[in-house]
A and B are shown apart, each in its own frame.
Chain A
Amino acid sequence: DTGVSQNPRHKITKRGQNVTFRCDPISEHNRLYWYRQTLGQGPEFLTYFQNEAQLEKSRLLSDRFSAERPKGSFSTLEIQRTEQGDSAMYLCASSQRNGYTFGSGTRLTVV
């Protein structure tokens, strides 16, 4: 399977804990995006990497959120001191030219 892989698929955490998600893009794709989708809404852009450089961050990405893409391959999204409002589906996508492909997402539930 050469699609975009996200792990874990589901994460339940207690409020205040830190969580980290991983995204493995399609290997030849140099652009990687993170989106957040809350129930009943369309995905909202969080951040974007070209290779290892983080080129754009949404104002939705508060200082509790950090994303990295070391070596321009996989990416991680960390949320510190989780809040109930962080409960959402976190989607990763990769692209090269016009080939945008989304992963299946990580569903975060903060209790």
Chain B
Amino acid sequence: AQSVTQLGSHVSVSEGALVLLRCNYSSSVPPYLFWYVQYPNQGLQLLLKYTTGATLVKGINGFEAEFKKSETSFHLTKPSAHMSDAAEYFCAVAGYGQNFVFGPGTRLSVLP
């Protein structure tokens, strides 16, 4: 069985500040981990994913995430927030060939 928790349903940062969105997972099999972004009334866009190999994963729009097995975490970071980063962010876990289990999401607000 797999599950995802995302600490903080709403995170606010100032433009130019560090973005940190937290994700913890549980999985009975080696996990594949994903971060998706969703803008209002749109589908999910993949930001980045971890499957195997390097634990620090770089994605689009300057985001990155680090897989820490000992902490069962896959936190998403971006050094400097931009107004266009305001959106809903979802962390997801999957086993190979298995369906995704999504977290409840974190809404990111970027303040001018």
Chain A residues within 8 Å of B, Cβ to Cβ: 6, 31, 33, 35, 40-45, 48, 56, 89, 91, 93, 98, 100-105, 107
**Which chain B residue has the least Cβ–Cβ distance from A31?**
B97
Q: Could you list some 9 contacts between A and B, CB below 8 A? A: A31-B97, A42-B92, A42-B103, A43-B100, A45-B100, A98-B32, A98-B51, A100-B34, A100-B94
**B residues less than 8 Å from A105 (CB atoms):** 42-43
**A residues less than 8 Å from B45 (CB atoms):** 102
Chain B residues within 8 Å of A, Cβ to Cβ: 4, 32, 34, 36, 41-46, 49, 51, 90, 92, 94, 96-97, 99-105
Question: Are A45's CB and B43's CB within 8 A?
Answer: no
The interface centre, meaning the residue of B4, B36, B100 with most chain A CB atoms within 10 A of its CB, is B100
Question: Are A33's CB and B100's CB within 8 A?
Answer: yes
Question: Are B99's CB and A48's CB within 8 A?
Answer: yes
Choose among A6, A40, A91, A107 the residue that contacts B41 (Cβ–Cβ < 8 A).
A107
Closest 8 CB pairs of A and B: A42-B102, A104-B43, A102-B44, A105-B43, A45-B99, A98-B51, A43-B102, A42-B104
Whether A35 touches B100, Cβ cut-off 8 Å, given contacts A42-B90, A98-B32, is: yes
**Which chain A residue has the least Cβ–Cβ distance from B49?**
A98
**Which chain A residue has the least Cβ–Cβ distance from B4?**
A42
**B residues less than 8 Å from A101 (CB atoms):** 46
Docked complex Cα distance between A105 and B38 (Å):
11
Docked complex Cα distance between A103 and B38 (Å):
12
**A residues less than 8 Å from B94 (CB atoms):** 100
Question: Are B43's CB and A100's CB within 8 A?
Answer: no
Choose among B4, B42, B46, B104 the residue that contacts A100 (Cβ–Cβ < 8 A).
B46
Question: Are B105's CB and A103's CB within 8 A?
Answer: no
Docked complex Cα distance between A104 and B39 (Å):
11
**Which chain A residue has the least Cβ–Cβ distance from B6?**
A42
**A residues less than 8 Å from B41 (CB atoms):** 107
Give, as a whole number of angstroms, the nearest-CB distance from A8 to chain B.
Answer: 14
